[in-house]
Amino acid sequence: MTVVFRKTKMATAPIPDLKDLIDQAKELFKETFGEEPQVGGSAPGRVNLIGEHTDYNMGFVLPMALPLVTVVLGKKSGNGVSRMRSEKDDDIAEFNVKQLTPGSPSWANYVKGVVANFHAPDLIPNFNAVVVGSVPLGGGVSSSASVEVAMYTFLEELTGSTAGSDEEKALACQAAEHQYAGMPCGIMDQFISVMGEEGSAVLIDCKTMETRKVELKDPSIAVLITNSNVKHQLTGSEYPSRRAACLNAAKVLGIESLRETNLPAVESKRSEFDDVTFRRIRHVVTEISRTVEAADALDKANYQLFGKLMVDSHNSLRDDFEVSCPELDQLVEAALKVDGVYGSRMTGGGFGGCTVTLLKQECVKSAIEEILKSYTGTPTFYVCKPSPGALPVKL
């Protein structure tokens, strides 16, 4: 079972089932628009087990989809206006699908961006819709990608026209985020939200978009996600600057992306880079090979090795890529003190959000206790199994 623990109460509370979220969305739709919704889509958040800041360098990532999801339900409006409501905001977003501009409320920018990038825009009628979900907002587990992909899935149902491939759908959602939310993200979050697999993490080659399922079904193993519940404002400026630094470094090396090189080759050109740039490159190239090695280790149920690679990844993100923060470091350090913990690391873009820990199922309670004791903030815990990707909602 998936459980949530909070600091105030060491109690467990189940994450809502998809069915409960759908019921909640139906209620919200009825209350807002006075009728029943007709179609819908759902899509999950994700946790990345390893492979951080590698997607926009055309490298490998190893995320899994979560049982935390966003649901979008709705129906054609029959007039020239679309109206959308989120359970998390009283403001109703109003727009015309033929004349879209980013604006307020800000959550609606993700859905407008998806409308604008849908593969068959001419088929989209104006609609009324609601968004509900269990993905923590701004928690580093891709709440925005889950909104985008749920929205795309809703539009597929509304128009009766599905994207030609998972890749096309993920790319459209990524474009929505770039254009309407101003975040130059890679492809990982949207892609795993589209094509997540129950019982498996997915190794994604972000250069070829090839995928490989990596089973994670061993009942003696758990994935513990710890939300630091801090979000430093740095993400907004530091993410694009890291991305730009990587692209520039590739240019200096005369290659298309940092995927095309390796550590010895980079080391031999060390004098061409300042220390900071060299460390950024070193993170990316070592993380890409760590991710492939980690996927192989997981295939062989070699949790020891997988855990070691997670820790190497965290240290590299902290020291070379410099995207961790004291809170994430504290959470990782606390988890690593516990017997039965194989590895722990920050996950996602960094500067706050979550850590991910691989551990023995029987040690989850002691890990949580240790983290609660050592962490100076207020964490939230989720124990999650790899879950399915986006699905149409049948009403």
d(CA 57, CA 259): 6
Question: Considering beta carbons, is residue 16 or 353 the nearer one to ligand GLA?
Answer: 353
| Site for ligand GLA contains 188 (CB under 6 A) | yes
Give burial (CB, 10 Å; 0-12/13-18/19+) of 19.
exposed
Rounded alpha-carbon distances, angstroms, from residue 209 to 61, 170, 291? 11, 11, 15
Residue in this structure with the two tokens 């090189």, named with its chain if needed = 261
d(CA 204, CA 186): 12
Run of H or E including 3: strand 3-6
The least distance separating ligand GLA from the CB of residue 100, rounded to whole angstroms, comes to 22
Stretch that binds ligand GLA, among 124-132, 146-154, 184-192, 387-395 (CB under 6 A): 184-192
| Site for ligand GLA contains 287 (CB under 6 A) | no
| Site for ligand GLA contains 148 (CB under 6 A) | no
Q: Which of 185, 216, 332, 367 binds ligand GLA (CB under 6 A)?
A: 185
- Which of 55, 189, 312, 320 is labelled catalytic? 189
The least distance separating ligand GLA from the CB of residue 263, rounded to whole angstroms, comes to 19
Query: What is the per-residue binding string for ligand GLA in 189-208, x denoting contact by CB under 6 A?
Result: x-------------------
Question: Considering beta carbons, is residue 174 or 200 the nearer one to ligand GLA?
Answer: 174
Question: Considering beta carbons, is residue 16 or 45 the nearer one to ligand GLA?
Answer: 45
Beta-bridge mates of residue 96: 99
Query: What is the per-residue binding string for ligand GLA in 27-66, x denoting contact by CB under 6 A?
Result: -------------------------xx-xx----------
Stretch that binds ligand GLA, among 181-189, 253-261, 290-298, 383-391 (CB under 6 A): 181-189
Q: Is 189 a catalytic residue?
A: yes
| Site for ligand GLA contains 348 (CB under 6 A) | yes
b/e per residue 322-347 (b: at least 16 CB within 10 A): bbbbebbbbbbebbbebeebbbbbbb
d(CA 185, CA 148): 13
The least distance separating ligand GLA from the CB of residue 173, rounded to whole angstroms, comes to 11
Q: Which of 41, 113, 139, 186 binds ligand GLA (CB under 6 A)?
A: 186
Give burial (CB, 10 Å; 0-12/13-18/19+) of 268.
exposed
* 173 φ/ψ angles, rounded to the nearest 5 degrees: -70, -35
| Site for ligand GLA contains 136 (CB under 6 A) | no
The least distance separating ligand GLA from the CB of residue 152, rounded to whole angstroms, comes to 16
b/e per residue 64-87 (b: at least 16 CB within 10 A): bbbbbbbbbbbbebeeeebbbbbe
| Site for ligand GLA contains 139 (CB under 6 A) | no
d(CA 79, CA 76): 8
Residues 295-334 that bind ligand GLA (CB under 6 A): none
Query: Which residues of the shown chain bind ligand GLA in the complex (CB under 6 A)?
Result: 52-53, 55-56, 185-186, 188-189, 348-349
> Which residues are tagged catalytic?
189
